[in-house]
Chain A
Amino acid sequence: MLEIRGLRATVGSKEILRGIDLKVGAGEVHAIMGPNGSGKSTLAHVLSGRESYQVTGGEVTYQGQDLLAMSPEIRAREGIFLAFQYPVEIPGVSTTYFLKAALNAVRKHRGLDELDAMEFLVLIKDKLKLVEMDQALINRPLNEGFSGGEKKRNEILQMAVLDPTLALLDETDSGLDIDALRIVAGGVNALRGKDRAMIVITHYQRLLDYIVPDFVHVLYDGRIVKSGTKELALELESKGYDWIKSEAATVH
C-alpha cells in the first residue's frame, strides 16, 4: 500500500528526515517510536503533504501512485488521514459542519453521492458511540475549548467518518489520562481491518499496550535504525533509547 524509499526532508535549512525506507501493507499496523526530535512527526506531516516541509529526496508510492505529487487534499481524498498531535481550534465552525463538508469532498472524489444533513446525522450518531462522545460536543465550534481528551477523540471520530485507507496517528496518546487513552485506543482498534493500514507514532510504549502493532520501527536522527515486532517496543520501554543511539553511532 505504501512504500517509502530514501525519503529526505528539511524544514528551512535543517534536514530532519535523512533517508527513510519503510514498507506498509494493507491491514498492517506499524508503530514508529523514537526519542524527541528524531523526525517522527515530520514523517507524518510530510506524508500528509504539509507544505512547510521540503522534500529533498526519495520517493513515496501509495497505492501505486506518486504520493509526493499530490496536494494535501488529494491525499486525504485518496484515503490518507492524519490524526494530529495538536488539533487546531477553529472558532465559528462546528465539527458537524466541517466534517460534513470534508466527507462530501472525499465522497465526491470517490464518485459517491454527497450526503444530505439527515444522512450525515445518522452516520455520525453511529460513529460517536465508537469514541463515547456526546453529540452536543460536535455542535460546538471545532476543538475550541475542548479538553486534550476531547480533541483526540474528535480526531478519531473524524477518522471513523472519513474512513481512510491509511491512517497516520501522530502522538495520539500525548496529553491523555488512562481513561481517555482507553477510549481513544478502543476507537482506533475498532477501525482496524484488512483493508486499512495504520502508522502509529509514539514516544512511549504505553499506547502500544492498547493498540498492539504488527511491526515496530525506531526512528533516530532522521533514519529508521531498527525494526522489529512488538517485543522491540517492550525492550525500548525497559532499556530507554540510549542503546539505540550508541548502536546508531557505531553503524554510521
Chain B
Amino acid sequence: MSVTESTGRFIAAFDEQRSARKDGAPLWLDELHQAGMASFTELGFPTTKNEEWKYTNMEPAVSLPFGQVNGEAKSFSTGEVLSNGFAENDAPRLVFQNGTFAPGLSSTRGLPGGVRLASLAERSRQDDELLAAQLGRYANHKRNAFVALNTAFIGDGAVVVIPPGCRLTQPIYLIYVSGAMKHPVVSYPRTLILLGADSEAKIVESYAGANGGKYFCNAVTELIAAGDSVAHHYRLQNEGEAAFHMGTLAAHLDRGSHLTAHALTLSGALVRNNVHVSLDGEGAECVLNGLYLGDGKQHIDNFTEIEHAKPRATSLELYKGILDGASRGVFNGRIVVHKDAQKSDARQTNRNLLLSADAAVNTKPQLEIYADDVKCSHGSTIGQLDPDALFYLRSRGLGPDEARSLLSFAFASEMVGRIQIDTLRRRLDDYLVARFRRI
C-alpha cells in the first residue's frame, strides 16, 4: 500500500466515524476534530523525501490493516498494568486500554484538593471550559501529519490540572496499555497537562503493550507550564516488540518556568518521538533527557525541537542511545533562537554507543540562531565501547560479555540516574541490569 493510499484510508475512516457518532461531541471538539482532519488531508503521511522524515519511513505503521477497537480487548490486571507502567501500587494513576479509560484500574486516591486528574472523554462530555480553551493550542496539527491525525481522532486520554501554588510531591502516572487484540488496532491517546503559576508536579506517562501484537499508538501530549511552575515529565515507552509508536510532546513554557522532560525508549519495532518545547517566557528553562535502547531490527527516531522565543531562556539537552543487533537510531535536534531571544543559553549533546557492526545511527544537530547575544553549543558522538575500559574490567576478572554489559549499563545508567522519582529510578535500574546482562 502506498503512503497516499494509506492517507486516503484514514480520511475515509474519519468520515465513517463522524457520521456514525451518535452522542455527538461538543461543538468545540467537533471543530477541533475537523481542523485536525483538514490539516491531515492537506499534509498526508510524510515520505522520506521530507527532510524531517529522511531516515524514518512510517509506511509499515500506517499501512497496517487496522480494525476498530470494540469490546474484544483483553483486560489487563492491575499487577500487569503497574509492572508494565513501572508504577507504584498506591500511586495516583489513570490507566487506558487501547486508548480508552479503564476506571477499574485507575485511582485518584491521595491527591490534594484542587488537583484534577480525569479522563479526557469524561471531561469533554461535561463540556469542560478549560479543556475547550487549551486542547489543541500548542500541538501544531498544521505542521505534523501525525499530530493532525491524533487531533482528528481525539477520543480519550488524560487531563491533569495542577492549581496555582500547589506543589505536588507524589508523582502522577498515566499508563497507556495496548495490544492483545485479534487484529491490528490504532489508538490516539491524548494528554493535556496544565501547571498553574508557581505549582510543581511530576508526571509519568508510560506506554506499554503486549508483545507479538501489531498495533499503532499515535499519542500526543500538550504540557502548559504557567509562570514559575516546575514540571517533571517522564515519557516511558515500553511498547510491545512488534508495535509502532509515534509520540509527540508539545510543551509551552511561560516566564520563569522549568521543564525537565525525559524520553526513555525501551522497546517497539518502529518508534518516533517528537518533542517540541517552546520557551515562551523570559528566563524559562528546559532540560531534555533522552535514552533509547535499540536491538534486533528496531528503528528509533528522536526528533526534538526547542524554540527560544523570549530572552534569557535556557535549554540543556542530552540524548543517549545504545544500539545493538541491526537496529537503527536517528537523532535530530533542532534549536531555534528567535530574534528577540537575547542571552539565550542552549546546549545540546547526543551520544551513541553502537554494540554491533550492523547497528547504525544518524545524528543531526540543527541550529538556527537569529539573535546575536547567545550561547549555543552542540556535539554528537558515535562510538563503540572503549577498549581501555574493557581491558581494565577484564584485568579484574570480568569476562568479556560481563565487561561489555557493565559498560553498556554504565552508559545508560547516567540517564536513569537523573530520574527524580526514587521508585521509578530503582525499577529502571533493575530493568537496565536485567537487559544488559543478556548482551
Contact = CB atoms under 8 A, between A and B. Distances in A.
B399 A92 contact: no
A125 B315 CA distance: 42
Interface of A: 48-52, 71-73, 75-77, 81-82, 84, 87-88, 90-93, 98-99, 101-103, 105-106, 109, 141, 158, 162
Contacts, number: 77
B77 interface: no
B53 interface: no
Nearest to A51: B391
A162 B396 contact: yes
Given A92-B409, A92-B414, A93-B409, A87 B399 contact: no
Contact of B395 (A76, A92, A99, A141): A76
Contact of B394 (A73, A92, A162): A73
Given A93-B409, A98-B406, A88 B389 contact: yes
A71 B393 CA distance: 12
Contacts of A98: 393, 396, 406
Contact of A72 (B391, B402, B406): B391
B12 interface: no
Contact of A52 (B387, B409, B412): B387
Given A51-B391, A84-B392, A90 B407 contact: yes
A217 B419 CA distance: 54
B395 A72 contact: yes
Contact of B396 (A109, A141, A158): A158
A158 B395 CA distance: 11
B296 interface: no
Contacts of B414: 91-92
Interface class of chain B by DSSP: helix
Interface residues of B, number: 25
B227 to A, nearest CB: 36
A94 B330 CA distance: 30
Given A88-B388, A91-B414, A101-B402, A71 B394 contact: yes
Contact of B402 (A51, A82, A105, A162): A105
B396 A76 contact: yes
Given A73-B400, A105-B402, A90 B410 contact: yes
Interface in B377-396: 386-389, 391-396
26 contacts: A49-B395, A50-B395, A51-B391, A52-B387, A71-B394, A72-B394, A72-B395, A73-B395, A73-B397, A73-B399, A76-B394, A84-B392, A84-B395, A88-B386, A88-B389, A90-B393, A90-B410, A98-B396, A98-B406, A99-B396, A101-B406, A102-B393, A105-B397, A105-B402, A141-B410, A158-B396
B397 A162 contact: yes
Given A92-B413, A93-B413, A87 B392 contact: yes
Nearest to B403: A73
B389 A92 contact: no
Interface string B398-422: 1110110011011111100100000
A90 B398 CA distance: 15
A92 B386 contact: no
A105 B414 CA distance: 25
Contact of A93 (B387, B391, B397, B406): B406
Contact of A101 (B388, B395, B398): B398
B398 A105 contact: yes
